[in-house]
Chain A
Amino acid sequence: MTHDTKTDNLLISPEQSIQVYRAMQRGMSRRNALKMLGAAGLFAASATSLPGISKAWAADTAGQNAPKRGGRIRVAAHSSSTMESLDPSKGATAIDYVRAYTFYNGLTQFDEGLVAQPCLAEAFESTDNGGHWIFTLRRGVTFHNGKALTPQDVIYSIMRHKDPAIGSKVMSMVEQIESVKALDEQRVEFTLSSPNIELPSILAVSHLVIVPDGTTDFSKGIGTGPFKCDEFTPGVRSVAVRNENYWREGRPYLDAIELVGISDESARVNALFSGDVQMINNVSGSAADRVSKTAGRAVKATNSGNYTDLVIRVDQQPGSRPEFVEAMKYLFNREQILKVALRGYGEIANDQPIAPGTPYYFDGLPQRPYDPERAASLLKKAGVAGARVPLVVSPAANYSEEMGQLLQQSAAQAGLTLNLNRVPGDGYWSNHWMKHPLGFGNINPRPTANILLSQFFASNAPWNESGWKNDKFDQLLVASRSEPDQSKRKQMYADMQTMIHEQSGIGIPVFLSDIDGYDTRVGGMDRTVPLGSFMAYMFPEYVWWNA
C-alpha cells in the first residue's frame, strides 16, 4: 500500500476539506457545510478529479497577491518560559512546535485534510498492513551545517525518544516502534511491535522531526528546515533566517522570522495593533472581535479538535450509575456554552472526541440536545435527585470555570446541586485532573484519531479520564490499526465513537477554536491545517510579506 499519491487514503480529501472551511468562513456551520458536501457530491468529485480547481480558487481568494520573496516578520506566541528548548522532544507549547517546524523537517507532514504527505521521506509504504514500513529518503537534502541527510540521522532521531533519560513528550507514541534500521543509503525500515496503519501520521508530529545523528547540544537548531537559527535565548526570542539551501524549491518566502513569547494576552493583542508583531496566537473571543474590526488586522479561527471535557469518573459515586452520566450529558446547554463562554469561536460537539473535518469523524450520531426534564427523570432513576455533588474547575482546563457555572445553572433546573470547587491552575494536571468524581480536563489535538482514542479511551490508557472500561472498544481499537480496508476502518471508528457517545463518562460540549490574529499584509494565511494555531505550527514556510 503506497501513500505517495494524494487521493488513495482519504475519506475527505484536502480539496473537500478546503470547501468545508471556505463555506464555514462564509458563515455556514460545519454541519451544514458537510451536508453541502454530501449533497453536492458531484462538485466534490469533480474537485478531487481536477486537483487544479481548488488551487485556482485559493489563488483567487488571495487576490492578486502571489507569494512574494523577502521581508521579515515578528510573531508572538502565547507562552514563553526559560523551559524552552530547540530539542524537539521537549516541545511543550506552540512556540516550541513552531520552532521545530522552522528549523527541522519530519519524515512526513500533515496536509490540510490532516493526512500525512511525504516530506523528508519522498515515499513510504507498508509491506504487511502496518507491521513493517519502508521510508525512502529524499536525495540531496542537507542539514544547516552542510551534512547530508542519511538513514543514520533518522534512526537516531526516532530512537532517542525511547530513552527515558531524554524526557521526551512522545515516549508513549514511539513505544510501538520496535526498531528502525537502514536498508541502504536511502531507505529505512521501521518495525512495529503491533501493526499500525497510521505510522506516517505519527511521524509528522513536531516532536519527531529529524535531527543530525548524535546531536546532544540542540542550542544551534541544526536541522534540514526552511530557516536556520541565527539566535535563540530561551524565554526571550529566537531569530530564524532563510535557509538558502532548502530542499523545497522556492521556499521559504520570508527572509527572517523573529519569534517571541508574550504571555499577557492584552499585551499580545496591543503589540499586534501597534504593529510591533505581525502574527499572534491564543486570542480570546472578546479580543478577536476587536481585532477583526480593526483595519489592517484579521483573525483566523481554526477548529483543531481541542476540547474541554466534563470528566465523570465511572468507577466512583455518583458516576458509577449510568443514568447519572447520561443525565449530565443532557444538562449541557451547548449553544449557550458556545455563545457565552466561547463568544462563538468554537463548534458544538456531541460527546464524541473526534472533530468534524478530520478523516475518521462519524457524522451519523444524532445531536444530543439540552434537555433538563429528561435529565431530571434520569437523575431520579439514578437515585441522586436533589443530591449535592462537587464539581472541580480550574483555569488550567480552558473555559472550565465558565462551563462549570453554566452547567451549575442547568443542573439546578433538573434538581441537582453542583458545588463549584475552583482550584488553581498551577499543578492542576498532576494533583487534580482525573482524581475527582466530577471535574474537567482539556485535551489538545492529537495527530490521529487512533492516538486520541488509544491515549484517552482505551481501558488501560494512563489518561483514561473517566476510568471507563469496555472490552469491545479495546478490540476494535487494536483491530482498526491493522485494517487495510478504508471503509471497514471507518465503520470501526464510527462504532467506537458511538460507544463513547453513549457510555463513557466523558461529556464534550463544544470544540474550542484556536484564534490567531494577524496583520493583513501577511500573505498565505488562508491555508488551514486543523491541528492547531499558526497553521498547525507550520506557517514559517507558507507565509509571505506584502509590503
Chain B
Amino acid sequence: MRNAIPVLVLGRLSSSLVTLFLVSLVIFAITSMLPGDTAQLILGQFATPDQVAALRTELGLDQPALLRYWHWLSGFMTGNLGMSASNGVSVTQLMSDRLPNSLLLAAITTAISVPLALIMGITAAMRRGGAVDRVLNLVTLSMVAVPEFLVATLAVLLFAVKLDWLPALSYVSTVESFGDFMKIYAMPVLTLCCVLIAQMARMTRAALIDQLDSAYVEMARLKGVPPMRRVLRHALPNAVGPIANAVALSLSYLLGGVIIVETIFNYPGIASLMVDAVSNRDLALVQACAMLFCSAYLVLVMMADLCAILSNPRLRNR
C-alpha cells in the first residue's frame, strides 16, 4: 500500500478537528464557570452594578452562553478569531505580536537541546554502567529535579546581578547585533534547556538500551560489528519511534508551558498572553490560545508518529 502515509495524515487531521472542537467546548464551559466576568474585571473593585450591567450589554455578555459559543465558533470557522473583550484589539493582532517571540524562543531551544540530549542519551546508553553513564545520570536527574523557576532565578542572580554579564530581562526589541541577541536569549534558553535536555536524554537512553539488549544487536556483536556502527546503524533506527515521541512531548511544552520563564525574564510570549486572558476572562483570546496550543501539540505528536513509521522499514513498506 503506497498511500498509507497520506491516509494516516488525513485520518489524523480529521480526528484532530474533533479534538479541537471538544477542547473548545471544555474551555468555554470552564471559562464561563469561573467567578466574575470581563465586565466586572474591566471595571474593577469599585464598579457599581449599573456600570457592570451597561458594559455587559456593550460586550454582549448578557446573551445566553450557547449563543455566545455559537458566535465564537462560527467566527472561528471563517478564520475570524474575534476581538479581545478586555482591550478591544483583535485577537489576531495580539497573537501575531507575541507568537513570533514564542516561536523564536522555541526554535533556539530546540536547536540546542535536541542534539545535546541525543548525544547525552546515546553516550549514556553506550557506556551503560560506566563512569560516564553514572555522571550523566546524576546530571540529568538533578536537572529534572530542580524546578525551572529556581534555575532561572539563580541564573539572574549570578549572571545579571552579581557578574553583570547578561541583562536580567529579555527584551526582544532591544536586539541590535548578534551579540545582543546571544545575551538576551542566553538565560531563557539555558533555563529551558535544563528542563528539556534532562527529560529527552533519559528517554533516549532508555529507548536505546531497550534495543541494545535485544537479540539482533547481540547477533551483530557476535558477527564483529564495531560498537559505534552497532548503535548508530542497527539499534538507533529502531529506537527512533520512542525517542521522537519523547522529543515531541518535550517540545510541545515550549509553546504554552514556558510561563515561568516568560514571567521571570519578562519575555513577551504567548503563554503569558493566555494567562492574562484567563485572569481577564477574555474568552475569545483564551479560546484562540487554547486552539493554538492544542493544534501545536497534535501536529508534533503526528510528526513523531510519522518519524517512527518512516524510520521503520517494516511499517514503511506495509
In the complex, 12 of the A-B residue pairs with CB atoms within 8 angstroms, ordered by the A residue number, are A81-B276, A82-B86, A171-B51, A233-B97, A233-B268, A237-B171, A261-B266, A262-B266, A267-B168, A270-B161, A429-B45, A462-B49
Q: Within residues 240 to 267 of chain A, which ones have a CB less than 8 A from any CB in chain B? A: 260-264, 266-267
Query: In the complex, which residues of chain B have a beta carbon less than 8 angstroms from the beta carbon of A471?
Result: none
Q: Is B296 an interface residue (CB 8 A)?
A: no
The A-B contact count (CB < 8 A) is 127
Q: Is there an interface contact between A82 and B44, defined as CB atoms closer than 8 Å?
A: no
> In this assembly, does B27 line the interface, its C-beta being within 8 Å of a C-beta of chain A?
no
Number of interface residues of B (CB under 8 A): 49
Asked whether B106 is an interface residue with its Cβ less than 8 Å from the other chain, the reply is no
Binds A, one of B2-10, B15-23, B71-79, B278-286: B278-286
- Docked pose: A167 CA to B268 CA in angstroms: 27
Residues of chain B lying within 8 A (CB to CB) of residue A427: 34-36
Is the CB–CB distance between B264 and A264 below 8 Å?
yes
Residue from B50, B87, B153, B167 in contact with A82 in the complex, judged by beta carbons closer than 8 Å: B87
Determine if B84 and A82 form an interchain contact, defined as CB atoms under 8 angstroms apart.
Answer: yes
Q: Which residues of B are found within 8 Å of A83, using beta-carbon distances?
A: 41-42, 86-87, 276, 280
Q: B170 to nearest A CB, angstroms?
A: 10
Chain B residue, CB-CB nearest to A462: B48
Instruction: Output the least CB separation between B186 and chain A (Å).
Output: 13
CA distance A236 to B173 in the complex (A): 10
CB of B192 within 8 Å of the partner chain? no
* Complex contacts, B62 vs chain A, CB 8 Å: none
Give B24-40 interface residues, CB cut-off 8 Å to A. Answer: 34-36, 39-40
State the CA gap A462–B156 with chains docked (Å): 46
- List chain A residues, Cβ under 8 A from B97: 233, 236
User: Given A83-B42, A171-B51, are A267 and B169 also a contact pair (CB < 8 Å)?
Assistant: yes
Q: Which 10 A-B pairs have the closest CB atoms?
A: A164-B54, A427-B35, A274-B160, A274-B168, A429-B45, A427-B36, A83-B86, A236-B268, A167-B55, A271-B168
CB-CB < 8 A to A430: which residues of B?
A: 35-36, 40
State in angstroms the CA–CA spacing of A263 and B49 once bound together.
Answer: 29
Give the complex CA separation of A370 and B156 in angstroms. Answer: 44
Residue of B nearest to A432 (CB): B35
Q: Is A267 a contact partner of B263 (Cβ separation < 8 A)?
A: yes
Identify A433's interface contact among B43, B45, B280, CB under 8 A.
Answer: B45
Interface hit among A39-47, A51-59, A84-92, A488-496: A84-92
Report chain A residues within 8 Å CB of B34.
426-427
How far is B88's CA from A83's CA once the two chains are assembled, in angstroms?
9
Measured CA separation A275–B164 after assembly (Å): 9
Q: Report B-chain residues with C-beta under 8 Å of the C-beta of A463.
A: 46
A178 within 8 A of partner (CB): no
| Contact A237 to B44, CB < 8 A, known contacts A82-B94, A164-B54, A274-B156 | no
A84, A171, A261: most-surrounded residue (chain B CB, <10 A): A171
Confirm or deny: A277 has a beta carbon within 8 angstroms of a beta carbon on chain B: yes
**Known pairs A82-B273, A274-B164, A276-B168 / 16 extra A-B pairs, C-beta < 8 Å:** A82-B94, A83-B86, A85-B87, A90-B87, A172-B48, A233-B268, A234-B87, A266-B153, A267-B263, A270-B161, A271-B266, A273-B160, A426-B35, A426-B36, A429-B45, A430-B35
Contacts of A273 in B (CB 8 A): 160-161, 168
Residues of B within 8 A of A276 (CB): 160, 167-169
Question: Once the chains bind, are A267 and B156 in contact (CB under 8 Å)?
Answer: yes
* Chain A hits for B279, CB < 8 A: 81, 426
Beta-carbon contact of B42 and A237 below 8 Å: no
Interface positions of A (Cβ within 8 A of B): 81-85, 90, 92, 164-165, 167, 169, 171-172, 233-237, 260-264, 266-267, 270-271, 273-277, 426-427, 429-431, 433, 442, 455, 462-463
Q: Which residues of B contact A (CB under 8 A)?
A: 34-36, 39-46, 48-51, 54-55, 58, 84, 86-89, 94, 97, 153, 156-157, 160-161, 164, 167-169, 171, 173, 263-266, 268, 272-273, 276-277, 279-280, 282, 285
CA of A90 to CA of B42, assembled, Å: 8
Which residues of B lie under 8 Å from residue A172 when comparing CB positions?
46, 48, 51
Q: How far is the CA of A536 from the CA of B129 in the complex (A)?
A: 65
The distance in angstroms between the C-alpha atoms of A82 and B83, with both chains bound, is: 12
CA distance A206 to B87 in the complex (A): 18
With A172-B48, A271-B168 already in contact, the answer to whether A165 and B58 are too (CB < 8 A) is yes
| Nearest residue, chain A, Cβ from B282 | A82
Residue of A nearest to B38 (CB): A83
Chain B residue at smallest Cβ distance from A93: B44
Which chain A positions have C-beta within 8 A of B88?
A: 85
User: Are the CB atoms of A169 and B43 closer together than 8 Å?
Assistant: yes
Q: Decide: B277 and A455 in contact? CB cutoff 8 A.
A: no
Of chain A, the residue at the smallest CB distance from B161 is: A273
| Known contacts A171-B51, A266-B153, A267-B169: A234-B89 contact under CB 8 Å | yes
Q: Given A82-B285, A165-B55, A167-B42, decide whether A271 and B84 contact each other with a Cβ distance below 8 A.
A: no
